[in-house]
Structure 1
Amino acid sequence: MANMPLNFFSEGQKGKVDNIVGGEKISKRLYEMGFNKGTEVKIVKNDAGPIIVSLSGYKIAIGRGLAQKIMVSQ
């Protein structure tokens, strides 16, 4: 399946991080938060406001702009 930005996924959907679209600062920040290639993510909440994802046993809230830079495959 093709890659999609994380913010296109619905609540309950799972996927694996494929890559980060952005500069070095953004990539480093997301890497430090745990968004590494191959890491499984699950959308906990995706409505108005920040997106909440379950990642490596943690729940993390990220803004929509940042979520758009995380490319995920199912």
Structure 2
Amino acid sequence: MNLRKMQTGQSGIIASVKIGGSLGLRMREMGLVPGTEITVTGRAPLYDPVKLRIHGQTLTLRNSEADYIEVDIKAETDSAEGKC
């Protein structure tokens, strides 16, 4: 799923980052690399930017940047495991 389409509270693992050049480098430097777990923690009133939790830090991305990131969404049962 494209990162832009994720809902607040959804978590997943970055599958790919489909951008090169200086923007791709900046994203990699921020830790947005395949295999990294992310959680969408909020959105601005007009849904841009998107607020993420990554490596224990908060990060915001414009939707135009989020469009380059594909995420494998965690199943709802994964996040509810161990809860009664």
Q: TM-score range by the shorter chain?
A: 0.7 to 0.9
Q: Which has the higher strand share?
A: 1
Gaps of 5+ in 2: 74-84
**Mapping 1:1-74, distance limit 5 Å:** 4-47=1-44, 48=46, 49-74=48-73
Q: Deviating runs (4+, > 4 A) in structure 1?
A: none
Q: Between the two proteins, what is the percent identity of the paired residues? A: 25
Equivalent position amino acid for 2:11 in 1: K
Equivalent position amino acid for 1:36 in 2: V
- Which is bigger in relative contact order (C-alpha 8 A, separation at least 6)? 1
When the two chains are superposed, the root-mean-square deviation of aligned CA atoms in Å is: 1.1
CA drift at 1:21: 1.2
CA distance in 2, matches of 1:23, 1:30: 9
TM-score, normalising length: structure 2: 0.78
**Quick check: which has more Rg, 1 or 2?**
2
TM-score, normalising length: structure 1: 0.87
SS across alignment from 1:34: coil
Cα contact 1:7–1:46 (8 A) shared by 2 = no
